[in-house]
Chains A and B, each alone.
Chain A
Amino acid sequence: MISDMKPEDIVGDYREAELAFYDGSRRKVLYTELETPYPDGKLIVSTTTPEGVIRQVNRAFVEMSGYSEAELIGAPHNILRHPDMPAAAFKDLWETVLRGEKWQGYVKNLRKDGGYYWVKATVIPNVRGGKVVGYTSVRRKPSRTKVDECAKLYPTLR
């Protein structure tokens, strides 16, 4: 479970939405139109348990998400879920990685301050001794053309 977003954390005017997650939990999110550009040359890296609970994050993850490392470790990865993202994208992600395959897509992530950032994300299962022990997700700077296409497409899929 993750707690609802708090107005005191938000920078600028915001809107509210309630998200329903795959596991049945819900979260109230507050979001703005402020985009944080993806930094050149950096990779955002995280690992999760097989259930999608964050186990490990790198410095770029902390900087871009706006959360502290302590807030992130142990939280479900959907703490970054933006209301503009279609649920179908994450359904596809889970179905793909559960088949043991690599998933790739363009994702709009929600920051703690209500702003957002776009990434090109790749998720792969971590196989140790033939068993999936978790997932690694790597995000890199996306092409603006692809982001613009997804920004138009995603609202039609919700």
Chain B
Amino acid sequence: MTFLFTVSPDFAPDRLSGWYIFNTWLQKQTDSAIHLEMYNHYQQLHQAIEADKIDLIYANPYDAAMLVRNKGFLPLVKAQGQADEAIVAVHADSPAQDVADLQVNSRVAFTDDPDVRLMGMIMLEPADLDVGNIVPVLADSHVLVAKHLLKGEADAGIILAEAYDNLSGVIRKQLRVLVRSQISVIHHSLMVGPRLQARRGELRQVLLNMAADEKGGGVLAALGFSGWQAVDDEEMEFMIDLMDTLNT
């Protein structure tokens, strides 16, 4: 039986090969056939989840909630010391010095990444902005959100903090961050679906040993991680509760 593995489409483009290397490593370690399928958009990913095609997924926190509650997925591990954060940025020349300076009907650019959008919209609330009184500018990637700001096609942009930090210095110089989230407890998780759950303990152990493995360390570096750490069921439930409270 071949298992299907996928990664939330918000991964940094330069990590694409890293995920393929990771999948090869994982197949060897577990002596299992695992096919890596990358989806370009959340809509495609959600269709695959709905059709019960996925067995293993590196999921964003928003999807993790749905995977646990509706599809019976269980958490394995998360990247050590990493959390999901978002920033709200404007063009460097924007008159807005604070989120509260943004006006109703501001054009706000974001991607279809649901948790980044959620964190960003929370940070716009102090300006009395919500989905009902902004003009959304949907972009295919965080880089394109930045481009909308540079071209004056958006008044503010919501970007995954990690993606913002990885933008070139030339681009970042022309932008200004109004606010950066400091939530710390929201993170992506590698999760296992019902068909692979009998092997959850084995998979988790292989991943926890990965940093110490001769080749594993290099594979992790290709993903930009220093190692994996276990996520237990209660930690995942807590994060889901947190996402629920925020999604209001």
Contacts and interface: CB of A to CB of B under 8 A. Distances in A.
A42 B123 CA distance: 9
Nearest to A126: B241
B47 interface: no
- Which range holds the interface residue count of chain A? 20 to 34
Given A140-B125, A143-B128, A41 B242 contact: no
B181 interface: yes
Interface residues of B, number: 23
Contacts of B126: 40, 141-144
A27 interface: no
Interface in A36-54: 39-43, 45, 47
Contacts of B238: 47, 126, 136
Contacts, number: 65
Contact of A136 (B99, B179, B245): B245
A40 B180 CA distance: 8
A137 B100 CA distance: 24
Given A41-B182, A58-B185, A143 B248 contact: no
B185 A45 contact: yes
A10 to B, nearest CB: 28
A61 B181 CA distance: 15
Interface stretch (A15-23, A65-73, A80-88, A116-124): A116-124
A143 B125 CA distance: 6
A137 B125 CA distance: 18
Interface of B: 99-100, 122-123, 125-128, 179-185, 237-238, 241-242, 244-246, 248
